[in-house]
Amino acid sequence: MTNPYVPEFSTYSFMDVTAVLYGPGVNGLTIGGPHSASAEEGVTVTLSEETNTQTIGADGSVMNSLHASRAGTATFRLLKTSPVNQGLMRVYNYQRTQSNIWGLNTIVIRDVAREDLYTCQGCAFVRFPTNAYAKLGNTLEWEFHVSVVDASLGWGINFEFSEGTFQGPAGGVTV
């Protein structure tokens, strides 16, 4: 008798995520995760451009061009009542005082349950967040331009790389 199919299942919790800001005037301000009063939309990291451009020739030949850029944006959405807004405001105001300290932030985002890790280097505030006073409290979106995004997505299937061979779940593939 064959075993029945058992689907993959797991859990996720924003309580496992932390985002910490380091830079001029700040040494370890938690800006996302538990106890930061993050909005439901939480944290987003986006690359600014695609990693590849594919060019197709007149005869159907294909050329892939690898882009060197790892620039992007990191956005942190906080409830209006989050005390982190005050901390970010102070850092923003301080860093605006001198151009030689602007854009030198590093942001580290971790999901400890999945071992995800994002290191964002050369971060600069994009702007002061839009702020509204209305019937319902709003969220403030603190956006940073990131010079270099280094990402590592966790503990899934272990892939091993050796010289000339890629070893994955389907077996070895010569590279």
Token representation of residue 54: 């594919």
CATH number of the domain that residue 155 is part of: 2.30.110
Q: In terms of residue numbers, what domain contains 164?
A: 14-50+67-174
Residue 40, in any domain of the structure? yes
Residue 9, in any domain of the structure? no
Domain count, the chain: 1
Residue 104, in any domain of the structure? yes
Residue 132, in any domain of the structure? yes
Residue-wise pLDDT tens digits, 7-31: 888 889 999 999 999 999 999 999 9
Residue-wise pLDDT tens digits, 91-140: 999 999 999 999 999 999 999 999 999 999 999 999 999 999 999 999 99
Which residues have a Cβ under 8 Å from the Cβ of 67 and sit 6 or more positions away?
A: 49, 50, 51, 52, 53
Which residues have a Cβ under 8 Å from the Cβ of 131 and sit 6 or more positions away?
A: 138, 140
For residue 175, pLDDT over 50 is answered with no
Residue 1, in any domain of the structure? no
